[in-house]
Structure 1
Amino acid sequence: MTYLDYQATTPLAPEALKAMLPWLEQGHANPHSPHRAGRQARAAVEVARDQVAALLPAGGRVVFTSGATEALNWAIKGTSGGGGIVTTAIEHAAILDTAQATGRPLTVLPVDGEGLVAPQPVADGTGLVAAMLVNNEVGTIQPVAALADAAHRAGAWMLCDAVQGYGRIAIPEAVDLIAVSAHKIYGPKGIGALWIRDGITLPPLLHGGDQEGGRSGTLSPALCAGFGAAASLMATQAERDAAHVERLWALAVEQFGPDWTINGSTTQRYHGNLNVRRNGLDVARLMSDCRDIAFSAGSACASGSGRPSHVLTALGLTEREAKSSIRLGFGRYTSEAELTEAIDRINMAARAQGR
């Protein structure tokens, strides 16, 4: 299997697995227990917290969650008394659905054909502006700093969904809340975090033991350790990872050639995401013909719905164009040879449909 679906999830880094194993094999104590074994587990959690925080702005605290979806729900619902919500048309469902569920006034900003939102004044009475740093379907990098400035001028908070950008793209200092996820940075599934700026207090989303100071639930030292190790690796390998992704992007764009059109911006974009379309392409047939290549017809969270991608239609694509698009994601563990071979096979299968 050739794995080209890094936006859905990344492979687990060997270093992250190594950091987790002691806590899976022997370190079974509850990190919230006061005995020595519990304190040792708690120390591992705090080391991980510092490692995750190192890639985030100063002046805030990291609260571990079950993932980015919980973090985003907590951030949005935690501002329930703070007026309306402003977001963009290409957000993840964890933002769009949660914002709608609050019943608060909701403004959804359009994007242009490259997937970029134009910052504009935020109406008085707005409590929260929420936007992705890097879009999960087309890789567009949003002007989050400008959106945060507009939010603050209206007295609102700025929530940044940094899931796809964390460790890859600098997160603006001006934001107030940041959601991140371990399994998008070569860490384990089942853990994420919400960064909360100092001075902001959110009411609990989950009630119970208040283990995290606003968030209840027993933490897994193993998951925390894996997240921390993955975050630390993102910091030390940042330049190498970025250079590798740029080489893969250039290779992939050349390999697909003129019969394919890139969806979204080619410049204001994280280049580990390549979303392309081909006129008349039957994506379901293509995926069947290339079943040993893992790539996507859109967001993994919406797969199987039969609906065109809301992100691609927001860019102005027709339903037919959106449904003839595929997404390839690549990164640290993708080799140039396997990417070239995979795209050759995709091209061959796509051309066969026109015969």
Structure 2
Amino acid sequence: MLKLPIYMDNNSTTRTDPRVVDAMIPFFTEKFGNAASRNHPFGWEADEAVGEARKQIGNLIGSGPSEIIFTSGATEAINLALKGVAQMYKKKGNHIITQVTEHKATLDTCKRLEKDGFQVTYLPVDKFGQVSAEQIREALTDKTILVSIMAANNEIGSLQPIKAIGKLCKEKGILFHTDAVQAVGKIPINVDEMGIDLLSMSGHKMYGPKGIGALYVRKKDPRVRLDPQIDGGGHERGMRSGTLPVPLIVGLGEAADICYREMAEESKKTYRLREKLRKGIMSQLPESYINGHPDERLPGNANISFAYVEGEGLMMGIKDVAVSSGSACTSASLEPSYVLRALGVGDELAHSSIRFGIGRFNTEEEVDYVIDLVVREVNRLREMSPLYEMAQEGIDLKSIEWSGH
């Protein structure tokens, strides 16, 4: 039996897996100790649970348990990585390289660092939203201390050539950070194989709880040092003070463990459902376009633009389906998505784009329902659009001189 509304916005957040909730519950009530209390069984029990979670996360990304630093989420992890490196290594240089389609957590942190006297290069992306290691090589100066490139884009799902970038950074002795929020648990990530020195991740994008994230900080070859951003009791190897939220940490660990065990199967299923959705919609609607790379993308992400349709109008028409237009984190603004603009997508098409995020709990039946609904609504809205009518008659809309401006 199909249940409405249907959730297809898994790039903005995921439902917490019931198995994760089960693992967390005892740590609110019976096992409520402070992991920093070293002198009684309640503290030991909490500390042991935190240690286990570090192992589970380390397994998923190929790191040692002691290289995992817990934060309140990925935004804090990214702030700690970028500001922490910039301040710690500023005697060595003041230049940072990133790219224009990063998440705002990275872009706004870089803007802040520019105010503090750091130089930031924002690399442009190609029409698929990707940068190349070659572009980074050309942007390097003798003052470059950090490169920060996301593993997978939150809006368009495009993957970046992380391994090639990591290799280049290793050759040049420059630190490499990746915002891997969308990638961890969905595609294989290995910090050693990919030459990653710092990696940010978040619980709520991988079926764990909100309010918990982690930063991987490499311990050897090279040993990465960070200037802490939150001062206090010296928790987390002195990098991030504050009492550890044990229930949330246990939840993140369990979520990572489930991804570790089930990712290969799950990403096949997610990919199959996404392709069914994409083909089902696009085969029935002319002038619909996929944004991002056709193949090198997250298995569950489909970002589609529908010409002659307003994205917001379409979202109202399919209000029984949770999707997003542009990025959830910046949807307070009516500007077309800066990510789509960077790919060279025109404003009209950018305004007509919908992001579908398929995840662990979506079903075949839901996908069938959404295909029918979207096709019906796009056709309905197009019938009401004078521009669509003119285009159907073969009038080149670009050649028309509109009066009244």
TM-score greater than 0.5 by the shorter chain: yes
What does residue 85 of structure 2 align with?
79
**Distance between the aligned counterparts of 1:124 and 1:343, measured in 2?**
52
Whole-Å Cα distance in 2 between the matches of residues 148 and 246 of structure 1? 26
When structure 1 is superposed on structure 2, of 121-130 and 146-155 the one drifting more is 146-155
Q: TM-score normalised to the size of structure 1?
A: 0.97
Counterpart contact for 1:130–1:159, Cα < 8 Å = yes
> For residue 29 of structure 1, what is the amino acid of its counterpart?
G
Q: Which amino acid aligns with 1:246?
A: Y
Q: 2:210 aligns with which of 189, 192, 202?
A: 189
Of 2, 6, 10, 1:2 maps to 6
Gaps of 5+ in 2: 384-405
Tell me how far apart the structure 2 counterparts of residues 295 and 337 of structure 1 sit (CA, whole Å). Answer: 17
SS in 2 for 1:169: coil
Correspondence for 1:143: 161
Cα contact 1:129–1:148 (8 A) shared by 2 = no
- TM superposition shift of 1:238: 1.4
Alignment of 1:93-108 (within 5 A): 93-103=104-114, 104-108=118-122
Moved more, 128-137 or 164-173: 164-173
Would you identify which runs of 4 or more consecutive aligned residues in structure 1 move more than 6 Å? none
Alignment match, 1:229: 254
Task: Quote how far apart the aligned CAs of 1:171 are.
Answer: 2.4
C-alpha deviation, 1:151, in angstroms: 2.6
Provide the residue aligned with 1:21 in structure 2: 25
Q: 1:302-317 maps to which residues of 2 (within 5 A)? A: 302-317=330-345
Corresponding residue for residue 57 of structure 1: 62
Higher Rg: 2
Deviation string 1:215-248 (CA, Å, 9 cap, x unpaired) is: 1111111101111111000011112201101210
| Separation in 1, partners of 2:356, 2:105 | 22
User: Which of the residues 246, 260, 271 maps onto 2:299?
Assistant: 271
Does the alignment pair 1:211 with 2:271?
A: no
Larger helix share, 1 or 2 = 2
Paired residues of 1:137 and 1:299 also in contact (CA < 8 A): yes
The aligned residue for residue 177 of structure 1 is 198
Question: 1:35-90 deviations in whole A, cap 9, x for unaligned?
Answer: 21111111111111110111123357001100011000000001221421101111
Q: How many Å separate the matches in 1 of 2:265 and 2:172?
A: 40
Q: Do 2:85 and 2:225's aligned partners in 1 also have CA atoms closer than 8 Å?
A: no
Take 1:336 and 1:124, find their aligned partners in 2: how far apart are those partners? 53
Letter in 2 for 1:49: R
Paired residues of 2:268 and 2:299 also in contact (CA < 8 A): no
SS in 2 for 1:132: coil
- When the two chains are superposed, the root-mean-square deviation of aligned CA atoms in Å is 1.3
Q: Would you say the 8 A contact 1:123–1:154 is kept in 2?
A: no
2:386 is aligned to: none
CA deviations on 1:165-218 (whole Å, 9 max, x unpaired) are 112223252111000111111000000100000111111110011111111111
* Shift in Å, 1:277: 0.4
Identity %: 39
Query: What's the CA shift for 1:160?
Result: 0.8
Whether the 8 Å CA contact 1:244–1:331 is kept in 2: the answer is no
Give aligned pairs, total: 355
